[in-house]
Structure 1
Amino acid sequence: MHVPHPDPARRLAQTSRHAQGFTAIELLIVITILAVLTAMAVPSFGPMIERWRTNQTVSNITSTIYMARSEAIKRGGKVSVRKIANGTDGCTFASTNQEWSCGWIIFADTDEDGNLDAGEEVLQTFQMPTSVDVMNNNSSASFRFDRWGRTNNINAASFAIVPRAGGVASPAATAVCFSSGGRVRVVKESVTC
């Protein structure tokens, strides 16, 4: 049986010897190892973030189509989707009809002209992250749905979603295709249907 030493100073010295913590050299070694591991891991985050942003945009386009179609059926038609104009809120990534990179709106298009006019109700707005390009492959600034949920474009429509940094060759590039009846298909690693 072990009996503790009666001298409190000696007991304190034994306790403090075991609770000293890390030395400066040990801390430097741990920091160096963490720095090396971080440097090795950072390049692999770029493609992962590109895929995440692209997937988010694909989800937004898909939900736009479903919502606009649903609203058109509910309202007896007259629902349009239109790109947000270049220069809106400082966005400069939509200078042509084909470029939808500033985002888009869904609205009740009472006169069915594809333009948001005074008095027409905005149903939803989608803003785009600045690192993703969205291209309407039909080069149209808008499309609309009729009372049966069909688009005004008889041909299938499609969008190309591309990370700005990686471009068309990026593995995160994706195409969203939908038929005139509103059926949506997503094609990974491609910008065409």
Structure 2
Amino acid sequence: MQNMQSLSRLRRSIRKPSTPRAPHGFTVIELMVVVSILALLAALALPSFTPLIERWRVQQAVKGLESTLYYARAEAIKRGGTVTVRKHPTGTGGCLLAPGNANWDCGWFVFTDTNSNGTLDAGEEVLQSFPTPPNIDVTRVGGAASIEFDRWGRVSGPFVGFSLVPHDKNISDLAARGLCMSSGGRIRTIKSEDMPCTSG
């Protein structure tokens, strides 16, 4: 009886030789086919993403400009005036898209304009700087290179107006936007069909 139990235990402990498993994973050819298909699909889908990217960049520039103007206005009230927003000159950060006063394509900065001349001079502090997202044309209505704020946070001079358009497009493009700021500080964003911004 004991021998039979031992024999039974022995049979259970002896395993059948396992069959070799098939290797898991992909072959190089399969991987190359999948990568080729993905590249083809990406190339077909990329043009449909371009308008979405343009709208996102314009929106980013609009929000950046809006927050800069609100910030400059608040700083002018806090400091008793002498705060100016000025466009970055062409050549800033390698940007060559802003040759004229109306072209704010390279971005803008806020500084304490102690002598109220609209230009950053030695000893004047830069409070904030904002680079424009790539491939966006930012044009100031009226063509001024700076925006001065007085001690009450009002814009010195006429209203502030900007058009923001994807590069090589015009204001009728769906992604284009306008930004208007009244002398009292009210900011509104307008759609392309309401452009150009002609009043605050």
Fold match (TM-score > 0.5): yes
Q: How many residues align?
A: 185
- Picking from 51, 72, 81, the partner of 2:76 is 72
Judging changes above 3 Å, is the alpha-carbon distance between structure 1 residues 119 and 37 closer, same or farther for their aligned structure 2 residues? same
Which residue does 2:121 correspond to in 1?
117
Q: CA deviation at 1:100?
A: 0.8
The SS at the match of 1:134 is: strand
> Gaps spanning 5+ residues in structure 1: where?
none
Identify which range, 105-114 or 27-36, moves more after superposition: 27-36
Identify which range, 83-92 or 175-184, moves more after superposition: 83-92
Is 1:7 paired with 2:19? Answer: no
| 1:112 aligned partner, one-letter code | S
The SS at the match of 2:104 is: coil
Distance 2:124 2:27 in 1: 69
Pairing of 1:106-185 with structure 2 (within 5 A): 106-153=110-157, 155-185=158-188
Identify which range, 117-126 or 134-143, moves more after superposition: 117-126
Asked whether the 8 Å contact 2:84–2:113 carries over to 1, the reply is yes
The SS at the match of 1:46 is: helix
Distance 1:55 1:188 in 2: 11
Q: CA deviation at 1:21?
A: 4.1
Q: CA deviation at 1:152?
A: 0.5
Which residue does 2:8 correspond to in 1?
none
The TM-score with structure 2 as length reference comes to 0.81
Distance 1:88 1:160 in 2: 21
| 1:12 aligned partner, one-letter code | T
Distance 1:55 1:180 in 2: 23
Judging changes above 3 Å, is the alpha-carbon distance between structure 1 residues 31 and 102 closer, same or farther for their aligned structure 2 residues? closer
The TM-score with structure 1 as length reference comes to 0.84
Q: CA deviation at 1:188?
A: 2.7
The SS at the match of 1:176 is: strand
Cα shift readout 1:102-151 (whole Å, capped 9, x = no counterpart): 11111111111211122111111112233111100121111111111110
| 1:171 aligned partner, one-letter code | L
Judging changes above 3 Å, is the alpha-carbon distance between structure 1 residues 20 and 133 closer, same or farther for their aligned structure 2 residues? same
Identify which range, 67-76 or 45-54, moves more after superposition: 45-54
Q: CA deviation at 1:42?
A: 1.1
Cα shift readout 1:57-93 (whole Å, capped 9, x = no counterpart): 1111001110000001001111111111223343221
Pairing of 1:41-56 with structure 2 (within 5 A): 41-56=45-60
Pairing of 1:53-64 with structure 2 (within 5 A): 53-64=57-68
| 1:186 aligned partner, one-letter code | T
Percentage identity across paired residues of the two chains? 49
RMSD (Å), alpha carbons: 2.4
